[in-house]
Structure 1
Amino acid sequence: MSATQRSGLGNGRLLLSLLLLAAWEAGSGQVHYSVPEEAKHGTFVGRIAQDLGLELAELVPRLFRVASKGRGDLLEVNLQNGILFVNSRIDREELCGRSAECSIHLEVIVDRPLQVFHVEVEVKDINDNPPVFSVREQKLLISESKQPDSRFPLEGASDADIGENAQLTYRLSKNEYFSLELLINSKPTKKLSLTLKKSLDREKTPEFNLLLTAVDGGKPELTGTVELFVRVLDINDNDPEFEQSEYKVRLMENAAKETLVIQLNATDQDEGVNGEVTYSLMSIKPKGKPLFTLDENNGEVKVNGTLDYEENKFYEIEVQATDKGNPPMAGHCTVWVEILDANDNSPEITVTSLSLPVREDTQPSTVIALISVFDRDSGDNGQVICFLTPNVPFKIVSTFKNYYSLVLDGTLDRESVSVYKLVVTARDGGSPSLSATASMSVEVADVNDNAPAFAQPEYTVFVKENNPPGCHIFTVSAWDADAQENALVSYSLVERRVGERALSSYVSVHAESGKVYALQPLDHEELELLQFQVSARDAGVPPLGSNVTLQVFVLDENDNAPALLPPGPGGGPSAVSQVVSRSVDAGHVVAKVRAVDADSGYNAWLSYELQPAAGGARSPFRVGLYTGEISTTRALDEADAPRQRLLVLVKDHGEPALTATATVLLSLEDSGQAPKASSRALSGAAGAETALVDVNVYLIIAICAVSSLLVLTLLLYTALRCSAPPSEGACGPVKPRLVCSSAVGSWSYSQERRQRVCSGEGPPKTDLMAFSPSLPPGLDREVGEERQEAGSNHSGLVSSINPFPLLEVYIDCLKKSSLFHGCLIL
């Protein structure tokens, strides 16, 4: 080939390379560099940060990093100047073998926001591998009868480089008998032969020692040598000959062992032993000797190992046929075995996690992981599609050939699904197709998006008064749907004022357990209802919380004895003095004992008894059982002592009952001694009776109106609230008392109160007491007289001080009993 032709060929190759490079870059849309193999450490490759459009100042904050699948740390980036440089030795032959193209694919990843770039670095071949012969010497047996121009095949050298660096030329040491000849065959290899220039004379020259040198086309050129030992044989003048000098065979890569490749046949025109042929393998390129066997007798070539299209696509088998003459003669042929691809490689999946675990407030389109797939097969067998498990809030997005991103495709809720089990499936286009799967778990990280929640918005607690300090009265519990510290709930009181005191002086709540304690004994007479809120807060950032309302009803106990009230100016709390005319008739009221009880309900219901006189004498006086009025039982006479000392026992109906004693001193005098006082008393009684009649008319109207309104309200209130049973305190849960009866009627006392009462103010009485119309004989008149009395009643029960005791009992019944069915006024 002339220099002009070689120059034109070189320019054409350069132009073709530039066109291919431009087409590749236009198709990939990524950055492309090239670097020669064996470049020194620190060799400049490219300004990768500048070419990718990244600022140098953001490389470190955005976690700029480079990943290379299976390439180790051959290339590295200087984060100070954004230059890609050679970090360690790059051997093109080790990376790509004899492949015409060799590239290192880099994945460049930056965060905030996440971006992925693909960079191709082409590794240029240099002439760093000399030609190598497979043996140190080659032996040739040449008969002296060989004619000039006879050819003898030689095994050529191989060069690990590619292109011009692997273009070999050969030189033979100077001699007068032999020369070299290169023959171009149908495959991209050259056939090397030794050509006889003139006839041999074994008796003159029995053997030759020649040096064969192989020179590559690199700059500088590298060489390899092998010794040729030529032995001149005596005449066996016919070589075995094959039908063809070259055979071509196609074989699937999944061919089983012992599969017949080809059966060779060589013939020798000689007779006898000089015509008997045996076969032998000379060489199998590349490195294929273990993969094939040759039967030395019948020439059958069979598969001996596992063929792999991905390792080698074709094999060159050199076969020699040798006769049994003396000396033996040999013939040669070449068998070209082309390996056909079979779909015998499943796709390989590599998943690189980037953002695990994923916060449940992560926005859609966020990249979660990188996925790369690879199939060693070719053609349709190597075309891979990738898809994801259905019905998950994720999707796979293709970013480059065989490169994908796992992207969030919906909203996450850890409380609904805390972990997603994803299966990535890659399937090739072979027939039948092969697939591979890769599993990954995507854990959803919790965000504090749920406030603690109570089972009820409010609780009702009943506690007996006089409880011990520090008593546990209730436990609140809130549940948080979040996890870890976001679900760690602590409790606290919502501070407020209860009257003139702080709420925290009455109760406290344990921050961790939610137990509510009474810090001091509670007094029903001071505080009937304590209503407050407990707050539950989680430990998230920012914390979330909610409140629950507690209504603590303080239940009354009989801890207050009846207290006597002074009768008027000049009187004392325990003694009543009164002047009585001897002319009064039976049933005349001569005095009245006044008493109150600080308790409520049955504990505050007072009765009066007259203690027997000393000596057993029958007293002409009696006391009203519930009015405290002392009246005569008969007309007074001269036989009655002028000084009467009466002891009145005042007793409540608690268990046990508490009492008080009042002393009444009566002075009996003749009727003429107190006319003015009697007249004034009669006049005042008449005026009071007239006023009472007027008041009762208005009371009847008021009672009817108030009763209708309150009954309607209570029916609605009971229907809304009776479905939730009240909670009981730990200090002293008490069941409601049953309806009881006594000598004076029926009464009931209920603790199941659901009404709201403002604590800290003077609470009204909370007990229900109703009297039946069936009073014992002798008491109905007394009760009737008590209805006409005027005054005030401290306890809200029937007493001798309240002018309208049954009206107050009835209204109190309507106001305070959630289990009210009706009150009866006698």
Structure 2
Amino acid sequence: MRRIRVWKQAALWLFVFSLLWNTVGAQIRYTIPEELKEGSVVGNIARDIGLEISDIADRKLRIASDSSTQYFSVDTRNGELIVNGRIDREALCGQSASCLMPLQLVIENPLQLYRVNIEIQDINDNAPNFHTKDSILKIAESVAVGAKFPFESAEDLDVGSNSLKSYALSNNAFFRLNVKTLEDGKKVPELIVDKPLDREKQSVHKLILTALDGGDPVKSGAIMTQVIVQDTNDNEPKFEQSQYKASVQESTTFGSSVLTVKATDLDEGLNGEIQYFFGARTPDNVKKSFNINAETGEITVIGKLDYELTKLYTFDVCAKDKGSPEQEGHSSVMLHIIDENDNIPEIILTSLPSPVSENASVGTVVALINVKDLDSGDNGKINLTISTRFPFKLKPAFDNHYSLVTGSLLDREANAEYDIKLVATDSGGPSLKSTKTVNVKILDVNDNPPVFSQPSYTVYIKENSPPGASLFSVSASDIDQDKNAILSYSILDLTSNQLPASSYFYINSENGTIYSMSSFDYEKTKLISIVVQAKDHGSPPLSSNATVHVFILDHNDNVPAVIYPSTSMGSVSHQKMPRSAKAGHLVTKVTAVDADSGHNACVNLHTGEVRTKRAVSEHDDSSQRLLIEIKDNGEPIQSTTVTVDILIEDGFHEPISDYRDKTIEPNKKTGKITLYLIISLASVSLFCLLTFFILLVKCARGSRSCCIRRTNSEYKNPNRNLQIQLNTDGPIKYVEVLGGDMMSQSQSFGSYLSPMSEFSDLTLVKPSSTTNFTDTLNVLDASLPDSAWTFESQQRRSTMMKAVEREET
């Protein structure tokens, strides 16, 4: 029943004091009685610090305690602080009036620290206790009435009202009890002789000393003392002082004298000779630290003193004579230990440093730090510092707790980690210090885009190359880390392109190697510009672009194409000439073009004119067949042939008149041809004027001079010219306008009229690239009798290409 009553009292204390918790700043205080049952609830710590129940697991609410034994735990389901094991106040705090258990409560995201003080209140769970159950006290029969003899003191581990309060002595006729209180509050029982003793009447007195505490219910302990009455030697030694006091430095060396006690005895002989001893109940820690000289009473140091372990030593000394029976006197000694600065400050990481993102804002908490010094006063005051060269600083929290926070913006690319040296210095004289290095790693943020080795690249590929050929490899780098530095390459499809670039090329996303996906035709495409993008794998990803100019190199893959004479009606062209033709008569002119460029497009240097070597005689056959071969200058050489049948007629002297007669015939086709010719000539004239105006503007802007000159029909500069040609010589009648250079995309127009053709038709050649007609001009006869106007502008190739692009737009 008594045990149940104790637990009911403990539960009542728990209920009352859990309502009295208080918070100062970031400190929380609970009060509980000792010996609470395991699993008892101290309080809802999550609610008291303002933490939602749903955030307990996410923010990793936990207890970080300096003690190796965890007396409390946090229930992560509801945030309650739970008793984790038996709490014995006496084992934790001894006889201290106040018993506080400090806990450090840590939550993360963001990192925060709370100080929780749990006051352990004493319950009356210890009875007063004597070290022995029986003791013997020898008293001379001659002792005077009122003489005092010390009893063994009882100890009660409880404190406050539950501690030792009084003593009681069993009823007897010769002795009474006196209790004195020392300066430290300790109660010492004394046996006082109330009446003269008579050994012959009663030599032994059995007394029971009972010690009582102030608890409810009261607990007690008892010791039986046998008082043996001795005869003779009736004077006991007496100390000069009832209590001796001294102060000792904790660094006092072995053998140093602390103080000397002295007692006197009025007896003579052996009854007056005195020896000094520690009291019978002297604690072991006193005996290990001090020694008393039995002959002189000098107390010396024999062990290491430590202020942090024991600040005050209190013990009894005894002076005994050599009489029979011997008598003894008693006194107490109080030694105060003086603190010295002999403890180095200690730096404790309450939480390990967290890696910090390089874009963390100023003031972000990195680690929680606690410093302590076991010394007292100025010796225990600590100043914690770090070097100013680090982008971190210390922010005081409470007591000796600090937060290590960012002091400025971070850049992982400049410093990926920091070894921060913490220095703790106390205020003692001389001061002591300790250091600790804290390693803080900086986490990478995707804040750097990829960078190409160069902004643009130039690549050359031959036309007709098989698909899948490796063209070139672009390279980019990223100074970020991990996935933020992993790059993927891709080709961007620009809306300005007629076809997406991905239909022409493929790029390896890992190494940036570009492959062709098709075979290219120089005559259709000479330059393809693609935009390559390098993108990292960060979040969000960053990217950069580079332009790759792919130039298509010409290959001699086109045979010359015969423009005149026309073979549209069959494989043989039919021409007429009069039998009266003389030597050198122009029978026909073969005109061919080559779709290639450069030397591959040059059709041999001859004019293509077919003339008679001699005059035609009456014996010559009226039908002559010629096989004409046309070759280009490429490698390998490409060639084509045309077959011309020449009909020699008598009386055919005026081919032009004949042509006119045919055109005057009421034929619908002839009328259409005339209309086409008029439209063609008008268009050519308009185009010439427009071209002339553009060239004037270019000459005004360019750094070189422009010229307008009259030249022969010989094609001098096939790469950079604009030509307007009108040819009326022979059977071929044509007007031709050529513009741009071999690399441009400007247009050229040509019209061809053959009065000797079977239908006297007008051929309009559709617009084509200048390259094709430049090649055509290479094979035209440069010695035509009619002259032509040539407009020529000398500019650099890059400037001309840009101008041509603007013309096309």
Change (3 A) 1:505 1:701: closer
Q: Which of 243, 248, 257 in structure 1 is aligned with 2:245?
A: 248
CA distance in 2, matches of 1:805, 1:136: 145
Match of 2:393?
395
Question: Which residue of 1 is the match for residue 600 of structure 2?
Answer: 603
The DSSP-based 3-state class of the residue aligned with 1:251 is strand
The equivalent of 1:543 in structure 2 is 541
Distance 2:290 2:235 in 1: 29
* Cα separation, partners in 2 of 1:499 and 1:596, compared to 1, 3 Å: farther
Find the counterpart in structure 1 of residue 304 from structure 2.
Answer: 306
- Indicate which of 183, 190, 195 corresponds to 1:193: 190
- How far residue 525 of structure 1 moved from its aligned partner, in angstroms, is 1.9
Write out per-residue CA displacement over residues 484-523 of structure 1, whole angstroms, 9 at most, x where no aligned residue. Answer: 3333322233235797755333211222222211122222
Deviations, residues 680-735 of structure 1 (Å, cap 9, x unaligned): 999xxxxxxxx9xx99x999977974773675499xxxxxxxxxxxxxxxxxxxxx
1:469 alignment partner, one of 447, 467, 470: 467
The answer for the alignment partner of 2:155 in structure 1 is 158
Question: What is the identity, as a one-letter code, of the residue corresponding to 2:477?
Answer: W
**Residue 211 (structure 2) aligns with:** 214
Taking a change above 3 Å as real, the CA distance of residues 411 and 450 of structure 1, as seen in their structure-2 partners, is same
Decide which of 96, 100, 104 is 1:99's aligned counterpart. 96
Q: What is the distance in 2 between the residues matched to 1:446 and 1:343?
A: 45
| Aligned residue number for residue 807 of structure 2 | none
Structure-to-structure mapping, 1:540-689, within 5 angstroms: 540-568=538-566, 577=575, 579=577, 584=582, 589-607=586-604, 625-631=605-611, 636=615, 648-662=628-642, 673-677=651-655
Alignment of 1:159-558 (within 5 A): 159-202=156-199, 205-268=202-265, 270=267, 273-282=270-279, 283-285=281-283, 287-353=285-351, 356-495=354-493, 501-558=499-556
Distance 1:272 1:578, change over 3 A: farther
In the alignment, which of 743, 746, 759 is matched to residue 766 of structure 1? 743
Contact 2:355/2:366 (CA < 8 Å) preserved in 1? Answer: no
Change (3 A) 1:699 1:177: closer
Tell me the CA shift for residue 314 of structure 1: 0.5
- Aligned to 2:779, the other structure's residue is in SS state coil
Structure 2: any 5+ residue segments left out of the alignment?
A: 1-18, 661-681, 706-714, 721-738, 745-763, 803-809
For 1:640 and 1:259, locate their aligned partners in 2 and report how far apart those are by CA, in whole Å: 159
Match of 2:397, SS state, is strand
Sort the Cα spacing of 1:574 and 1:555 in 2 relative to 1 into closer, same or farther, 3 A.
farther
Q: 1:601, CA displacement in angstroms?
A: 1.1
Report the AA paired with residue 168 of structure 2: R
SS state at 1:485 partner: helix
SS in 2 for 1:796: helix
- What CA RMSD, in Å, does the superposition of the two structures yield over aligned residues? 4.8
CA distance in 2, matches of 1:124, 1:498: 85
Residues 591 and 779 in structure 2, CA contact (< 8 A), matched pair in contact too:
yes
Q: 1:219 to 1:510 in 2, by over 3 A?
A: same
TM-score under structure 2 normalisation? 0.74
Residue of structure 1 aligned with 2:779, choices 800, 803, 809: 800
User: Unaligned regions of 5+ residues in structure 1, if any?
Assistant: 1-20, 608-624, 683-690, 715-743, 750-761, 768-789, 820-826
Whether the aligned pair in 2 keeps the contact of 1:139 and 1:228 (CA below 8 Å) is yes
- Quick one: structure 1 residues 212 and 641, their matched pair in 2 at CA, closer, same or farther if it must change by over 3 Å? farther
Give 1:91's aligned amino acid. Answer: D
Deviation readout 1:447-502 (Å, 9 max, x if unpaired): 33443333333322111222222111122333333333333322233235797755
SS at match of 2:117: strand
In the TM superposition, what whole-angstrom CA distance separates every residue of 1:277-302 from its partner, at most 9, and x where no partner exists? Answer: 43332344484321222333443322
Structure-1 separation of matches of 2:310 and 2:552: 95
The equivalent position to 1:708 in structure 2, one of 690, 699, 715, is 699
Structure 1 distance, partners of 2:317, 2:162, is 29
Change (3 A) 1:497 1:562: farther
Instruction: Give 1:117 deviation, angstroms.
Output: 4.4
2:425 aligned counterpart, secondary structure: strand
Distance 2:50 2:498 in 1: 71
With over 3 angstroms needed to count, the CA separation of the structure-2 counterparts of 1:307 and 1:138, relative to structure 1, is farther
Cα distance 1:558–1:580, how it changes in 2: closer, same or farther (>3 A)? farther
Report if aligned partners of 2:593, 2:779 keep a CA contact under 8 Å in 1. Answer: no
Which residue identity does 1:675 align to in structure 2?
H
Q: Could you say if the C-alpha distance between residues 635 and 566 of structure 1 is closer, same or farther in structure 2, counting changes exceeding 3 Å?
A: closer
Please give the alpha-carbon distance, in whole angstroms, between the structure 1 residues aligned to 2:23 and 2:114: 15
Opposite residue 492 of structure 2, the aligned amino acid is V
Distance, in Å, in 2 between the alignment partners of 1:42 and 1:539 is: 50
Q: Which amino acid aligns with 1:292?
A: F
What SS does the aligned partner of 1:482 have?
A: coil
- Larger mean CA deviation between 566-575 and 129-138 belongs to 566-575
Q: Is the 8 A contact 1:76 1:87 kept in 2?
A: yes
Note if contact 2:719-2:742 (Cα within 8 Å) is conserved in structure 1: no
Q: Aligned letter for 1:467?
A: S
2:486 alignment partner AA: L
Return closer, same or farther for 1:550/1:328 CA change in 2, 3 Å cut-off: same
Structure 2 counterpart SS, 1:400: coil
Contact 1:765 1:812 in 2 (8 A): no
Supply the distance in 1 between the matched residues of 2:617 and 2:188 (Cα, whole angstroms). Answer: 170
Residue 527 of structure 1 contacts residue 763 of structure 1 at CA under 8 Å; is this kept in 2? no
Contact 1:68 1:104 in 2 (8 A): no
Distance 2:23 2:513 in 1: 72
Distance in 2 of aligned mates of 1:299 and 1:574: 151
- Once the two structures are TM-superposed, the CA of residue 574 in structure 1 deviates from its matched residue by 7.4
| Structure 1 residue 210, shift from structure 2 partner | 3.7
Give the conservation status (yes or no) of the 8 Å contact 1:490–1:511. Answer: yes
Q: 2:591 and 2:796 mapped to 1: Cα distance?
A: 24
Question: Structure 2: how far apart are the matches of 1:305 and 1:805?
Answer: 126
CA distance in 2, matches of 1:605, 1:489: 48
Specify the code of the residue in structure 2 equivalent to 1:516.
I
Task: Classify 1:435/1:680 alpha carbon distance in 2 versus 1 (closer, same or farther; 3 Å).
Answer: farther
Q: TM-score, normalised by structure 1?
A: 0.73
Q: Cα–Cα, structure 1 residues 528 and 241, in superposed 2: closer, same or farther, change >3 Å? A: same
Alpha carbons 1:125, 1:162 under 8 Å: kept: yes
Shift of 1:647: 5.7
Aligned length: 710
CA contact (8 A) 2:718 2:774 kept: no
Cα distance in structure 1, aligned partners of 2:56 and 2:80: 12
Amino acid at match of 2:774: G
Structure 1 window deviating more from structure 2 (423-432 vs 331-340): it is 423-432
Taking the aligned partners of 2:303 and 2:314, their CA distance within structure 1 comes to 16
1:427 partner amino acid: T
Distance (whole Å) between structure 1 residues aligned to residue 168 and residue 291 of structure 2: 33
Separation of aligned partners in 2, 1:272 and 1:644: 178
Identity of aligned residues (%): 39
Greater mean alpha carbon deviation, residues 433-442 or residues 154-163: 433-442
